Structure 1
Amino acid sequence: MNEFNESHDTGSVREFTVSDADAGPYALTEGPDGALWFTLVHRGAVARRDPDDGLVTVHPVGDGPTVITAGPDGAVWFTEYRAHRIGRLTPEGDYAPFAPRTPGGGPFGITAGPDGAMWFTLSSADRVGRVTVDGEVTEYPAPGAFPSALTTGPDGALWCTLNQGNAVGRLTTDGHGTAYPLPTEGAGPVGIAAGPDGALWFTEIGAGRIGRITVDGTVTEYPLPDPAARPHAVTAGPDGALWFTEWGGGRVGRITVGGDITSYALSRTDCEPHGITAHDGALWCALETGSLARIEVRP
């Protein structure tokens, strides 16, 4: 167990040191146990922050743990980008890895699917995989190049960003894929999340925009005030808005379903915010420099 109790408070934003600067907090999720779980991409570990006392417990796993999410089985699941595996970790610390069928695929995004299984992207292999809670793995061709983040849509399909295909992809649970090209060239979509409005919302890291796509494929783009913001991850907040990290500017942004945008500065412009999730009535994001930031949701 590692104990980190330092914090930095700037009004609506509070930061908590959870690792040394070299460990690299990357993505985070609220676990089935109510705690905040996050990956330490450069340490090869997954950590848990206790919701009561803030103590951090670190669990060694495979190389390059990246995106993490809660599974339907009471465990957290995550991708191991450099080890080319999918990891499962229980609240008690029991760890199990699962190998995709395609070697060297570079698993990145992961989400709980509509069918009780976990779905993940193999970015380097242009494939999307499925793993049951018992470890049975199947794979399908992605609908475009370099599938990155993915999420379950309101239509019962999997939706993913196609980072090098400049598109958003839809994949049914039987493997049928469709790609929807983006209007802006070089958008480089990364994060994606289901919104409260029945649409999917995504980040365009290359274009400095937030995108919205309906389940029938209609795309709307919203330019950010800072074109160099490099928005990375996005999540639905408890306030009916979408929240996202601005990796290029050290900020967290908020966009309403009507397109109104505000942002919150973090302690440093170079703190490298990546993953973001709702937890305990607030928004939390992982800063690769060694902290987690909590952003208060104000009415």
Structure 2
Amino acid sequence: MRAALTLAIALTLVAAVPVALPEDDSSRFTYYTMPTMAAGPCDLASGPDGLMWGEDILSNNIFTINQKTGVVKEYPIPYTGDALPITNLPTGGPTENRGAFACAIRLGADGNMYAASGVRNQLVKINVQTKAMTILNPPGIGPAGNLEPFNDLWTLKTGMLFTQTTGNVITYYDYTSGKFTNYNVPTPVAGPLGMYVASDGWAYFTEFFANKIGRFNQSNGEIQEFPVIDPLGAGPAVIRAETPGLIWFTALVGGSMGSFNMQTHEIKIYPNNIPLSLPSEDTVSPDGRVWFSTIAHSSINYVQPATGAIVNIEQPINLLPVPVNLPVGLEVAVNYRSGYIWFTDALYNRVGAYKL
């Protein structure tokens, strides 16, 4: 009897020990499909209400995901007319549904969510509780702004910073006064794209066409620029990750990740293991791993900052493994929240969550 009891206790203790799943285990992945067909979920941001927020690039919707219930809700972005006297390409539906191709959403320090509106040249302010949207019109910067007015945004304590990519300016929106202020990027046709306010107080941004990392001092308007040397071409895109002393950016053209040392200004490039993967966005998990998405490869990926080693985790949808990796899911966004790496799967019209 005693032997049987001892065996039972031993088996119970063994069963209680958690077993680590392989990183590529399909049970780690959960998916949330958009209610609107071909909505194209593109960007993600954690909301203060415990929901995951996002923006569709094709349907012009803001959406929320409740991880506890699995419920996905969509909220159409109001159409208030073109900010510039240029007719945007319609999508075949009513005027309100004409293509905007927006892909940027972030939480503001004032408690509201803010999103881009693509070729509409507007900033969307969203009340988190009511979901009511206010459409804001940045000052005109000429016809070039209508191509893609801004691709990323990040909050300061007093206002929102965003990049007007084809206009070659950084714009500041003051939460209290509602005033917009433009700051010209020194390099012509630099293509300011990603935006991130780091712990050192500088606002860092990428210059996609100029292959540079810029940083902006909002107190005096100073802009400094640092060249990114990458034999593969770089094309720095998004900055949304920081580890001690470093900010991290995706190099879309070069198929790489990059780090920028905030003290020494040294830039390092870490080529992805998968060629032509088109790294898009990045985020950091509490253990210090820098995660990034890849538009042309159906995987989520991370860099170990201490070694520079990159790990690629294939999604369970893959029919053909590396290096081709089909079908492509168009993973654009990646965002850490509550023990999960969240990402968008635009081609499959869904958002994924990978459990760490």
Instruction: Place the TM-score, normalised by the shorter chain, in its bin.
Output: 0.7 to 0.9
1:274 Cα deviation from its structure 2 partner: 0.1
Query: Secondary structure at the residue paired with 2:243?
Result: coil
8 Å CA contact 1:194, 1:236 repeated in 2: no
Structure 2 residue corresponding to 1:128, chosen from 123, 129, 145: 123
Q: Which segment is superposed worse, 73-82 or 107-116?
A: 107-116
Structure 2: gaps spanning 5 or more residues: 1-20, 80-95, 308-356
Q: Give the counterpart of 1:292 among 297, 300, 323.
A: 300
Output the TM-score relative to the length of structure 1. Answer: 0.79
Residue 294 of structure 2 aligns with an amino acid whose one-letter code is L
Q: Deviations over 1:67-87 (max 9, x none)?
A: 101000001111101000111
Q: How many residues align?
A: 251
Whole-angstrom CA distance in 2 between matches of 1:66 and 1:152: 20
Higher RCO (C-alpha under 8 Å, 6+ residues apart): 1
For 1:237, what is the secondary structure of its paired residue? strand
Which residue pairs with 2:51 in the alignment?
75
Deviation string, structure 1 residues 46-72 (Cα, Å, up to 9, x no partner): xxxxxxxx7111111141111101000
Residue matched to 1:56? 29
Alignment partner, residue 231 of structure 1: 236
Unpaired segments of 5 or more residues in structure 1?
Answer: 8-15, 19-53
Give 3-state SS (helix, strand or coil) of 1:138's partner.
Answer: strand
8 Å contact from structure 1 (residues 67, 108) kept in 2: yes
Answer 1 or 2: which has greater strand percent: 1
Whole-Å separation in 1 of the counterparts to 2:217 and 2:241: 15
Query: Hey, what does 2:213 align to over in structure 1?
Result: 210
Identity of aligned residues (%): 25
Q: Contact 2:230/2:269 (CA < 8 Å) preserved in 1?
A: no
Letter in 1 for 2:171: G
Q: Shift in Å at residue 6 of structure 1?
A: 8.0
Instruction: Return the match for 1:168 from 165, 170, 173.
Output: 170
TM-score by length of 2: 0.67
Which residue identity is paired with 1:172? Answer: D
SS at structure 1 position matched to 2:103: strand
Larger mean Cα displacement after TM superposition, 240-249 or 173-182 = 173-182
1:145-184 to 2 correspondence within 5 Å? 145=145, 146-153=149-156, 155-173=157-175, 174-184=177-187
Higher percent of residues as helix:
2
- Show the counterpart of 2:326: none
Secondary structure, counterpart of 2:226 in structure 1: strand
* Distance of 1:142 and 1:178 partners within structure 2: 8
Alignment check: 8 A CA contact 2:241 2:282 kept: no
Instruction: Give the match for residue 290 of structure 2.
Output: 283
